[in-house]
């Protein structure tokens, strides 16, 4: 009888020990790490071709304050896709509002690194039919002719509906922070050679070094992000 009790006790002790070891091993195991999310490389236009959501919001943090833009892809799908990929890749970092004409619009989108700007110079997207109007607060890609849109954009400071018939297709609108847009510095006005503002050729070739030396009062987009 005593032997049976001792064997049972020993079995219970061993079982308890094995359970403790098993629990200890399980406790020490680390959960499998999830692969880190990678940010697309904005220096390579060929990799930035993801389709944008039907609607999404973007926050610009600028030297004058935050601006929120709501994009509706159906208004201009090619433009919305390009904008979405530029934002999510981190392209809009330290980007100058280099052409600001009060009573008209503010233009931006040339990368401050000349090597990156050169990579995008010929990375054009097809035109979109104009479905929305260039009213105050709308955001639109600049163009130099058919199928030439790359990375330059502008925000309409007033109703510029005359641009609708010229092929400028808005894809979104400022929904918060239009008062910030109105404060963006327009002291330099039109760009050279027609005005006293920055020369686009020199921005492409020399980047932000040129802008910050010769036009120190320009405002900038410090960063951009897609809102949840």
Neighbours of 140 (CB within 10 A): 28
Instruction: Look at residue 146 and tell me whether its pLDDT is greater than 50.
Output: yes
Mean per-residue pLDDT, 115-120 = 96
* Angle subtended at Cα 79 by Cα 160 and Cα 222, rounded to the nearest 5 degrees: 85
Give the three-state DSSP class for 150.
Answer: coil
Instruction: Look at residue 2 and tell me whether its pLDDT is greater than 50.
Output: no
Instruction: Look at residue 10 and tell me whether its pLDDT is greater than 90.
Output: no
- Class of the CATH domain delimited by 45-226: mainly beta
Give residue-wise pLDDT tens across range 22-36.
Answer: 334 344 455 444 444
Mean per-residue pLDDT, 66-75 = 98
**Residue 95 per-residue DSSP state:** E
Mean per-residue pLDDT, 132-147 = 97
pLDDT bin (cut points 50, 70, 90) of residue 7 is very low
Q: Which residues contact 176 (CB under 8 A, 6 or more apart)?
A: 66, 67, 68
Domain range annotation of the chain: 45-226
pLDDT of residue 199: 98
pLDDT of residue 6: 40
Mean per-residue pLDDT, 205-219 = 98
pLDDT of residue 221: 98
Q: Which residues contact 149 (CB under 8 A, 6 or more apart)?
A: 78, 79, 82, 124, 125, 127, 141, 142, 143
Cα 218 to Cα 98: distance, rounded to the nearest angstrom: 7
Mean per-residue pLDDT, 178-192 = 97
pLDDT of residue 38: 61
Instruction: Look at residue 14 and tell me whether its pLDDT is greater than 90.
Output: no
pLDDT of residue 8: 40
């Amino acid at each position: 009888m005593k032997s049976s009790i001792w064997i049972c006790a020993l079995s219970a002790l061993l079982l308890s020990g094995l359970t403790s070891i098993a629990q200890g091993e399980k406790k020490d195991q680390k959960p499998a790490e999830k692969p880190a999310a990678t940010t697309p490389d904005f220096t390579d236009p060929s990799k930035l071709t993801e389709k944008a959501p039907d609607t999404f919001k973007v926050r610009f943090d600028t030297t004058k304050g935050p601006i929120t833009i709501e994009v509706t892809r159906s208004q201009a799908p090619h433009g919305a896709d390009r904008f979405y990929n530029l934002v999510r890749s981190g392209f809009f970092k330290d980007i100058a509002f280099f052409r600001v004409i009060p009573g008209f619009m503010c233009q931006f989108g040339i990368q401050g690194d000349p090597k990156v700007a050169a990579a995008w110079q010929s990375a054009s997207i097809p035109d979109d039919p104009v479905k929305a109007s260039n009213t105050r607060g709308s955001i639109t890609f600049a163009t130099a002719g058919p199928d030439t849109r790359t990375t330059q954009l502008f925000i309409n400071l007033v109703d510029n509906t005359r641009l609708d018939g010229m092929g400028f297709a808005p894809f979104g609108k400022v929904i918060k922070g239009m008062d910030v847009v109105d404060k963006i510095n327009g002291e330099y006005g039109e760009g050279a050679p027609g005005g006293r503002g920055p020369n686009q050729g020199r921005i492409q070739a020399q980047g932000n070094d040129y802008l910050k030396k010769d036009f120190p009062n320009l405002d900038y987009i410090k960063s951009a992000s897609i809102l949840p």
